[in-house]
């Protein structure tokens, strides 16, 4: 279970996101011990966002990043930063296709969020 208290966001504090995502294509390969998820996103900068040079930031939890590519060009680890909760890619174009491949382990997911396993099967 999630134990941290969510941060309250007030309407007066809202700002438009730096990026818009028009399409999401997912390829989910469920295996015995893990699941591979390939995501392809059509991304564009939000024209009304405050930071027109802001990096792309994607949140994620309990994901093992296997690969990331921008417009078909694989990025090496020096082109982005990655921590336990976020992938950040600086210097992206105004419009691009982002492809990521991650490994998740549903049997080890005790937070009951995302894809998780129980004795009766896999759930999301």
pLDDT in tens, 62-120: 899 999 999 999 999 999 999 989 999 999 999 999 999 999 998 888 787 888 888 88
Full domain range(s) for residue 41: 17-106
Nearest CA among 87, 63, 61, 62 for reference residue 75: 87
Q: What is the CATH number of the domain that holds 42?
A: 2.60.40.1730
Contact 37, 28 (CB under 8 A): yes
Specify if 36 maps to a domain: yes
Asked whether residue 123 carries a pLDDT value surpassing 80, the answer given is yes
Specify if 76 maps to a domain: yes
For the segment 16-33, what is each residue's pLDDT rounded down to a tens digit?
899 999 999 999 999 989
Specify if 111 maps to a domain: no
Specify if 51 maps to a domain: yes
Distance of CA 16 to the CA centre of its chain: 18
Specify if 94 maps to a domain: yes
Contact 105, 34 (CB under 8 A): yes
Q: How many domains does the chain have?
A: 1
Specify if 117 maps to a domain: no
SS3 of residue 84 by DSSP: coil
Specify if 85 maps to a domain: yes
| Predicted structure pTM score | 0.85
Q: Give burial (CB, 10 Å; 0-12/13-18/19+) of 97.
A: middle
Specify if 11 maps to a domain: no
């Amino acid at each position: 279970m999630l134990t941290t208290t969510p941060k309250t966001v007030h309407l007066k504090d809202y700002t438009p996101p730096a990026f818009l995502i028009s399409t999401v294509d997912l390829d989910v390969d469920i295996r015995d011990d893990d699941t591979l998820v390939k995501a392809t996103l059509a991304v564009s900068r939000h024209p009304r966002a405050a930071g027109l040079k802001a990096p792309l930031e994607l949140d994620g939890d309990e994901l093992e990043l296997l690969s990331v590519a921008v417009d078909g060009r694989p990025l090496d680890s020096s082109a982005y930063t990655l921590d336990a909760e976020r992938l950040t890619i600086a210097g992206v174009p105004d419009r691009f296709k982002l492809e990521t491949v991650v490994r998740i382990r549903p049997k080890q997911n005790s937070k009951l969020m995302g894809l998780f396993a129980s004795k009766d099967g896999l759930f999301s």
